[in-house]
Structure 1
Amino acid sequence: MPEDAKWYVVHTYSGYENKVASNLEKTVENRQLHDLIQEVRVPTETVTEVKDNKRRDVERKIFPGYVLVKMILTDESWYVVRNIRGCTGFVGPSSKPIPLTDEEVAKLGVEQKKVEVSYGVGDSVHIIDGPLEGFVGIVEEIDADKNRIRVTVSMFGRETPVELELDQAEAVE
């Protein structure tokens, strides 16, 4: 039995995503299946709508009709998920669900990976990846939530602000 859980996509009736997710969470709680089915998510995004000159923040489903489930695939976990009311099945061939790849999980933003950095605002960093590889700059801003930093690099006698990912720079020794 594989010991690490993977993300699977479950197809539901349209509009039943939250109901399927809550029913699945209740079933996991009742049957004590926390070790098999670890997490259930309905991917949503917050959008600002302007209607009648009023702004409202509305939460919309990114993938209507789908729920993401992080689980270890066994006969029992497959059966539990498959038999939730409103669930029509897993995405993949009918007999065997296909897990999402690490790249797909990263693009969906389902799991946030924390990157520990050894530099702070005002420190000099060496750019180790991307088009400015090899340049040295000064950190102006760190946004850990978005996994981004703003670095000022001196190019052709001018100070140029550049946005990088946290792992594209390392502290200058």
Structure 2
Amino acid sequence: MVERWYVVEAYEGKDEEVALRLCAAGFKMLRPVDVKRSHVREKLARSGRHVRRVTKRPRFGRYVFLRAELDGEQGACTIRAVKDMRGVFGFLESGERPSPVPDAMIAFYREFNPGAASEAEIARYGAGDRVRILVGPFEGLIAVVEGVDKIGLLRVLLDIIGRPTPLPIEVGHVELVEQGRRPPIKSASSRCANRELAQTA
């Protein structure tokens, strides 16, 4: 039996619960959390004081990395068990099978963090964009963006095992090569015209 890393997608805000359930079930898993410490001056009625605050943010949002053996009959049972867990949306899949994440990518994720992306940086990317990987074991390869998370995480398709493999990659680890087609943005005048037509209909 060969264990590999896979990506489990949780429902929004359920990633921590899913990670705890996977651990309780005996799975090896990875859920990197970035910790930010800050001092904030709070104004009280009589005096002010500095309060230390700690903010924790899951680096990959709703995605959790799972190490398991998913081949064969036993693997099929494991897939069903994980998918049936409360809070789990499913695996990142290629075709109808969970896509393994290369060990080199997991090792890179453990060591490197580009930091939080700004809203302007996140807004540059959209589904259909072609991006170049800037760092890590797949530096220089071109990937296609499938989706963009609000925390600055891209879900991309990268050809690394002879087929398109879906992976979560941070905005800070890629550069835009070619922008995909964007849906047309309706102007204010056209929206008003549409409302008038709807009212007269």
Per-residue deviation, 1:94: 5.2
Per-residue displacement from partner, 1:35-64 (whole Å, max 9, x unpaired)?
xxx312322121113333433232221011
Instruction: Answer yes or no: is 1:45 the counterpart of 2:46.
Output: no
Amino acid corresponding to residue 12 of structure 1 in structure 2: A
Instruction: Give the % identical residues.
Output: 26
Secondary structure of residue in 2 paired with 1:7: strand
Match of residue 83 from structure 1 = 84
Per-residue displacement from partner, 1:59-110 (whole Å, max 9, x unpaired)?
2210111111111111011111111111111112351111111221111118
Q: Distance in 1 between matches of 2:40 and 2:82?
A: 39
Amino acid corresponding to residue 9 of structure 2 in structure 1: H
- 1:22-171 aligned at under 5 Å gives the runs 22-26=20-24, 28=25, 34=26, 38-52=27-41, 53-73=50-70, 74-93=75-94, 95-109=96-110
Match of residue 145 from structure 2 = none
Computed over aligned residues only, the root mean square deviation of the Cα atoms, in angstroms, reads 1.9
Secondary structure of residue in 1 paired with 2:100: coil
Match of residue 14 from structure 1 = 12
Secondary structure of residue in 1 paired with 2:101: coil
Gaps of 5+ in 1: 29-33, 111-173
Gaps of 5+ in 2: 42-49, 112-201
Amino acid corresponding to residue 33 of structure 2 in structure 1: T
Q: Distance in 2 between matches of 1:56 and 1:5?
A: 39
Per-residue deviation, 1:6: 1.0
Secondary structure of residue in 2 paired with 1:49: strand
Q: Distance in 1 between matches of 2:97 and 2:39?
A: 44
Contact 2:5 2:103 in 1 (8 A): no
Contact 1:43 1:68 in 2 (8 A): no
Q: Distance in 1 between matches of 2:14 and 2:61?
A: 9
TM-score with structure 2 setting the length: 0.45
